[in-house]
Amino acid sequence: IKIINRDVSRAGLVDILGSTQMTNIQGEEVQKLDEFANGVIYRAMDHGGHLCGMASEENEDILPIPSEYPKGKYVLLFDPLDGSSNIDVNVSIGTIFSILRRVTPEGTDGTKDDFFQPGYKQIAAGYAIYGPSAMLVYTAGRGVYGFTLDPSVGEFLLSHDNIRIPEHKGIYSVNEGNYNKWSEGMRNYIDWCKKDIPEENKKAYSLRYIGSMVADVHRTLLYGGVFLYPADVKSHKGKLRLLYEANPMSFIIEQAGGKATDGQGNRLLEIVPDGLHQRTPLVVGSPKNVDEVER
């Protein structure tokens, strides 16, 4: 994360902005920084003996551990660079990761069985946000902790102890340009967000949307509200990826006292994956806001 942050912070100065002119497994344009971050994480994690395999949003198949290195007890899943569309305009981007304990015999290469576990099995998850300062936020299932990088000493220092998400807040975060493609229920919810309803003591909510999931979820974690990426008529499963984005962020949000669902009453962390790159509709945030969406 420190290495990625260093290069992100010099992105306008060194030749790392822009596109590689290639598309990834998701059919999306690959930015140079995506590719760079992907390689940094793989190379940092391939030889430590902890992992028996990795999976990245940028690669079609499981990334094996090189044969010369020992195989460990865990698998690592990651979105090396989240918020790609914001790279070239100096807006916050991030990295998301998820760690599962293997279910296959020790000492061998990890297989799909190790990766296709529901999110509640995660033993740790976190994200880095490259913003005005760099932060690392993680959970190992006993609360959520945030660390801020102090560049003068080169260390992440505990700055956000035991983060708790607010119960409710009048903020919604969604790409509203997709409004006409949503279900009627989803459109009704967004219409309702904008209303003053004096008899219920409800004021119109604020809309905040950055377009980097890490940044939108980070704000939601600290200020409260709800972040949504619903299904629509074109993408029946929404846009965000279950293993690299939805699961790790849902684990963090739940550990901070929030909720994470698919908007149809299903807890995201209980979905049993059947594809490395499968997508899911997503509603995460303050518990009362998520209940409002569900209703």
Comparing CB distances to Mn ion, the nearer of 193 and 260 is 260
Backbone phi, psi, residue 94, to 5°: -160, -175
Comparing CB distances to ligand AHG, the nearer of 52 and 125 is 125
Element (H, E) at 249: helix 247-255
The beta strands (E) that lie in 131-181 are given as: 134-139, 144-150, 155-160, 171-173
DSSP 202: B
Comparing CB distances to ligand AHG, the nearer of 23 and 188 is 23
CB of 239 to ligand AHG, least distance (A): 6
C-alpha to C-alpha distance for 78 and 94, rounded to whole angstroms: 11
Query: Does residue number 254 form part of the binding site for Mn ion (CB under 5 A)?
Result: no
Applying the rule CB under 5 A, the residues between 54 and 113 that interact with Mn ion are: 57, 79, 81-82
One of 53, 72, 83, 258 touching ligand AHG (CB under 6 A): 83
Dmax of the chain from CA atoms?
68
Comparing CB distances to Mn ion, the nearer of 35 and 114 is 35
Which residues, 6 or more positions from 1, have their beta carbon under 8 angstroms from its beta carbon?
A: 95, 128, 134, 136
Comparing CB distances to ligand AHG, the nearer of 20 and 175 is 175
End-to-end CA distance of the chain, in Å? 39
CB of 214 to ligand AHG, least distance (A): 7
User: Residue 90's closest CA among 3, 12, 20?
Assistant: 12
Site string for ligand AHG, 184-223 (x = CB under 6 A): ---------------------------xxx--x-------
Site string for ligand AHG, 8-37 (x = CB under 6 A): --------------------x---------
Residues in the interface with ligand AHG (CB under 6 A) total 13
Query: Does residue number 84 form part of the binding site for ligand AHG (CB under 6 A)?
Result: yes
Task: At 93, list the tokens.
Answer: 């981007």
- Decide which of Mn ion, ligand AHG, none touches 239; Cβ closer than 5 to 8 Å per partner kind: ligand AHG
Give the burial class of 20: count Cβ atoms within 10 A of its Cβ; 0-12 exposed, 13-18 middle, 19 or more buried.
middle
Query: Does residue number 262 form part of the binding site for Mn ion (CB under 5 A)?
Result: no
CB of 230 to ligand AHG, least distance (A): 11
Comparing CB distances to Mn ion, the nearer of 85 and 108 is 85
C-alpha to C-alpha distance for 272 and 61, rounded to whole angstroms: 18
Residue 227 Cα distances to 176, 180, 185, 254, angstroms: 12, 18, 16, 14
DSSP 71: P
Q: Which residues bind to Mn ion, rule: CB under 5 A?
A: 57, 79, 81-82
Q: Which residues bind to ligand AHG, rule: CB under 6 A?
A: 28, 57, 79, 82-85, 175, 211-213, 216, 239
